[in-house]
Structure 1
Amino acid sequence: MSARTSPPPSSAFMLICLLHSVIALSSGALMMFRMKEIYTFTHGIETATKLLGSTPHDQLLIRTSDSFSGLLLFAIGLFLFMVSFIEDMDFQSFFAKGCIFLHVFMAVWRFWFERRVEDLAWDSVRQTVGDILLSLSWVFFLVCSWGEKYD
């Protein structure tokens, strides 16, 4: 009987998780507390005014939705930070494949649905490219870990 030895954990996994964690934490915090400024910066004043709603009730609903979305993104950032310290290569590979799936799914969602919203069309293209780049970082990790595993 031979005992299966697992290869040493990859530092690339920790680095990618921490990078994604910082992105999610900062984006989530900005969404919770500075969404009006973010809308104005990314879309311009006219589009930001449309996106923030026209009635006080709409504005409250949109702010509440943005805050909960930001809180979810912040929680994902904390989760990624915790996961970055796991040293099991099998888990790292599984987690990376799941992240690739989620980023590709988000890119497809943005491409097929969000680009149809006239005020968000340009922003959805930029976010789709961002999702693809984030998924490529996980693909890079899988290629590196595959090289380490079979060298």
Structure 2
Amino acid sequence: MHHAYITPSQTHHGHGPATPKSPSAPAAAAAAATTASSAFTVICVLHSLIALFCGSLMMFHARAIYSLGHGTDAAERLLGSTPQDRLLISTSDSFAGLLLLAIGLLLLMVSNIKDREFQDFFAKGCTVLHVCVAVWRLSFERGVEDLAGDCLRQTVGDFLLALSWLLFVVYSWREKYD
């Protein structure tokens, strides 16, 4: 005689009400991970677009950006007074723009990583990086006469970028421990 294992779903032959299945803990964890993962992807893509846009402007339209941000007189002073200064500053701006383009592409690549621990680590690192840039602006750029007027606005922007990563860290921490 063959003994078959009978599961509870096999014993219910349509008699009486069926019991609804409750979502399992792994399914709920997977849904929470998907939500955190999609938030990470959105933040990475937004930061990437900002970096790509600013980098391309720095590389190809530095004079216009300086004029828009600092005014025409300050832009002329920031671009240098001698041909050597202008070449050096133009080269420096191009390399800074290229660095921003590389950062933007790196953020696009990182946005596809689904490892939750890596996402938390990366977001914490980006938060620290933006806060360090803001502190640097307050410490050094404030002392440069032509840059002092925009220092506060740019510092607020750095803190807002750091805040977006910090909100992701808090959100993923809340999901992890709830």
**Aligned-residue offset at 1:15:** 0.5
The reply on whether 1:43 has 2:91 as its aligned counterpart is no
Identify the residue that residue 163 of structure 2 maps to in structure 1.
Answer: 136
For residues 79 and 111 of structure 2, the distance between their equivalents in structure 1, rounded to whole angstroms, comes to: 36
The reply on whether 1:52 has 2:115 as its aligned counterpart is no
- CA deviations over 1:95-144 (Å, ceiling 9, x no partner): 00000110011011001111000110021211111110000001110111
Identify the residue that residue 138 of structure 2 maps to in structure 1.
Answer: 111
**Aligned-residue offset at 1:8:** 2.0
Identify the residue that residue 122 of structure 1 maps to in structure 2.
Answer: 149
Which one-letter code corresponds to 2:33 in the other structure? P
The reply on whether 1:100 has 2:133 as its aligned counterpart is no
For residues 90 and 68 of structure 1, the distance between their equivalents in structure 2, rounded to whole angstroms, comes to: 32
The reply on whether 1:21 has 2:48 as its aligned counterpart is yes
Identify the residue that residue 8 of structure 1 maps to in structure 2.
Answer: 33
For residues 41 and 149 of structure 2, the distance between their equivalents in structure 1, rounded to whole angstroms, comes to: 33
Identify the residue that residue 63 of structure 1 maps to in structure 2.
Answer: 90
For residues 123 and 23 of structure 1, the distance between their equivalents in structure 2, rounded to whole angstroms, comes to: 18
Matches within 5 A, 1:67-106: 67-106=94-133
Which one-letter code corresponds to 2:103 in the other structure? I
Identical aligned pairs, as a percentage? 63
Which one-letter code corresponds to 1:120 in the other structure? L
Q: Secondary structure, in 3 states, of the residue corresponding to 1:32?
A: helix
For residues 119 and 40 of structure 1, the distance between their equivalents in structure 2, rounded to whole angstroms, comes to: 12
Q: Unaligned regions of 5+ residues in structure 1, if any?
A: none
Q: Unaligned regions of 5+ residues in structure 2, if any?
A: 1-28
**Aligned-residue offset at 1:37:** 0.4
Number of residue equivalences = 147
Which one-letter code corresponds to 1:29 in the other structure? S
